């Protein structure tokens, strides 16, 4: 349950933890619709987990989440991907993809190959070094997420997955 503004001011955990005061959920009020409070809680949880993942990727692997995400897409597509496919999948501009690919190519983690079907395009692939590097990062990433969700029991994980699937389906219906 979300604390009211007055409750947050008097709650020692909120006063001593700047993240608790500045998260998305902290803007909700007791009178807000429950759906809005749920949305803000989901957003807050996502941001807290993402913040930790970003920090840990930076600290342990000297890399960024966008670089990790790009390498993850390439790992899932061993045939390689065109720049515009990466841009669409990662929902970022082509310029962002080009900058990341250029950096990873300099580090010899990815390479470009001419696309046989389109002579004007290149397909991006992980190199063997890129596969090894991504494998290490992916294993660490998985362990971090497991650690952050360890406060829930197996039964709660299953229930949360079911509820989120139902929410996803409901949201998709509204979008149609």
Inter-residue contact 109 to 126 (CB < 8 Å)? yes
Each residue of 28-39: b (16+ CB within 10 Å) or e? beeeeeeeebeb
Q: Looking at the structure, do residues 84 and 58 belong to the same domain, yes or no? A: no
127 pLDDT more than 90: yes
9 pLDDT more than 50: no
Average pLDDT over residues 69-73: 98
pLDDT attached to residue 74: 98
CATH number at residue 161: 1.10.10.10
Domain with 81, as residue range(s), is 64-176
Domain boundary (62, 95, 114) is at 62
Ramachandran area for residue 164 (φ above 0: left; ψ -120 to 50: alpha; else beta): alpha
Domain boundary (62, 91, 113) is at 62
Q: Looking at the structure, do residues 84 and 151 belong to the same domain, yes or no? A: yes
pLDDT attached to residue 17: 52
Domain boundary (62, 84, 114) is at 62
Average pLDDT over residues 79-102: 94
Q: Looking at the structure, do residues 54 and 89 belong to the same domain, yes or no? A: no
pTM over 0.85: no
pLDDT attached to residue 11: 40
Q: How many domains does the chain have?
A: 2
Residue keyed to tokens 């809005």: 36
């Amino acid at each position: 349950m979300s604390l009211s503004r007055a409750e947050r001011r008097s709650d020692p955990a909120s006063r001593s933890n700047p993240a608790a005061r500045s998260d998305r959920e902290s803007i909700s009020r007791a009178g807000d619709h429950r759906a809005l409070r749920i949305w803000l809680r989901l957003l807050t949880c996502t941001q807290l987990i993402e913040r930790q993942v970003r920090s840990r990727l930076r600290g342990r692997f000297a890399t960024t989440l966008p670089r990790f995400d790009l390498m993850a897409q390439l790992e899932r597509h061993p045939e390689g991907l065109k720049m515009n496919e990466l841009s669409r999948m990662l929902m970022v501009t082509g310029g962002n993809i080009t900058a990341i690919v250029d950096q990873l190519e300099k580090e010899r983690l990815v390479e470009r190959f001419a696309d046989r079907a389109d002579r004007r395009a290149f397909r991006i692939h992980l190199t063997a070094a890129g596969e090894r590097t991504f494998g290490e990062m992916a294993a660490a990433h998985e362990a971090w997420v497991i650690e952050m969700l360890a406060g829930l029991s197996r039964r709660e994980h299953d229930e949360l997955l079911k509820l989120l699937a139902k929410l996803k389906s409901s949201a998709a219906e509204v979008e149609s």
